[in-house]
């Protein structure tokens, strides 16, 4: 692959289709070696003959698509009528991969913002969450990245991101516990005004 730059696990580097294909081919070859080292006869097992290819394709084009694709186009509208109440979207599906053990975590995110001069197309909030989630992540940083992005690009008076998720690195290994992890990030007016936070949590209680 010509682009030899490296990034942190939850950052973004845009690759073209030729670069993705080179990466896919190399990952497929590596997984062939991994299964061989695990003493799995992937070449002759009818269920695993194409598994290295399927894993490579899944990683590059699906699970980690947010690592290699450009950010989604977001539609921002002028707040012509000066709407000044909380806007809430959720539950937004979160599907990500823990960067500590490469095990999935999944759950729901709720986003609230207090508009200033602009409002955002509601579907774009889901696209932003998905773009950041489809990378090797930890939930704390995922929540921060979403909030920072919206503060920078939407420029609201305040933003709050609330997320709860189950982590298979907990449910399927280690402690084998089925609990959820909850994170929240508050910025702007939400960090200064407890009544706004209370209003937000009251709004999402029934969602």
Instruction: Provide, rounded to the nearest whole percent, the portion of the chain with pLDDT above 70.
Output: 98
- Give the Cα separation of 86 and 124 in Å (integer): 17
Rounded to an integer, the average pLDDT of 96-115 is 97
Please enumerate in sequence order all residues whose Cβ is within 8 A of that of 33, keeping only pairs 6 or more positions apart, or say none: none
**CB neighbourhood size of 200 (10 A):** 23
Q: What angle do CA 77, 119, 78 make, to 5 degrees?
A: 35
- 3: pLDDT strictly greater than 90: no
What integer pLDDT is reported at residue 175 of this predicted model? 85
What integer pLDDT is reported at residue 2 of this predicted model? 47
The overall average pLDDT reported for the chain is 95
Segment 149-178, tens digit of pLDDT: 999 999 999 999 999 999 999 888 888 888
Distances from the Cα of 116 to the Cα of 29, 58, 155, 185, angstroms: 51, 40, 7, 19
Confidence of residue 139 (pLDDT cuts 50, 70, 90): very high
Q: pTM for the whole thing?
A: 0.93
Assign 201 to helix, strand or coil. Answer: helix
Distances from the Cα of 98 to the Cα of 15, 71, 169, 180, angstroms: 22, 21, 8, 14
What integer pLDDT is reported at residue 165 of this predicted model? 97
What integer pLDDT is reported at residue 50 of this predicted model? 95
What integer pLDDT is reported at residue 149 of this predicted model? 98
What integer pLDDT is reported at residue 1 of this predicted model? 43
What integer pLDDT is reported at residue 81 of this predicted model? 96
What integer pLDDT is reported at residue 182 of this predicted model? 97
- Domains parsed from the chain with CATH numbers: 17-68 (1.10.286.10), 76-204 (3.30.1130.10)
Q: Bridge partners of 100?
A: none
What integer pLDDT is reported at residue 4 of this predicted model? 64
């Amino acid at each position: 692959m010509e682009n030899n730059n490296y990034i942190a696990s939850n950052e973004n580097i845009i690759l073209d289709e030729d670069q993705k294909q080179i990466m896919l081919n190399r990952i497929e070859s590596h997984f062939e070696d991994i299964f061989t080292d695990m003493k799995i006869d992937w070449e002759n097992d009818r269920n695993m003959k194409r598994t290295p290819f399927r894993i490579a394709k899944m990683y590059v084009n699906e699970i980690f698509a947010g690592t290699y694709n450009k950010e989604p186009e977001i539609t921002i509208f002028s707040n012509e009528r000066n709407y000044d109440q909380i806007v809430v979207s959720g539950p937004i599906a979160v599907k990500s991969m823990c960067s500590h053990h490469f095990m999935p975590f999944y759950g729901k995110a709720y986003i609230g913002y207090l508009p200033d001069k602009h409002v955002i197309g509601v579907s774009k909030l889901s696209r932003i969450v998905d773009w950041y989630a489809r990378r090797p992540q930890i939930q704390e940083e995922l929540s921060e990245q979403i909030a920072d992005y919206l503060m920078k690009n939407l420029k609201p008076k305040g933003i709050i991101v609330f997320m709860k998720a189950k982590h298979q690195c907990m449910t399927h290994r280690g402690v084998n516990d089925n609990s959820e992890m909850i994170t929240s990030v508050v910025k702007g007016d939400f960090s200064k005004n407890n009544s706004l936070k209370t209003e937000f949590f009251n709004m999402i209680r029934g969602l």
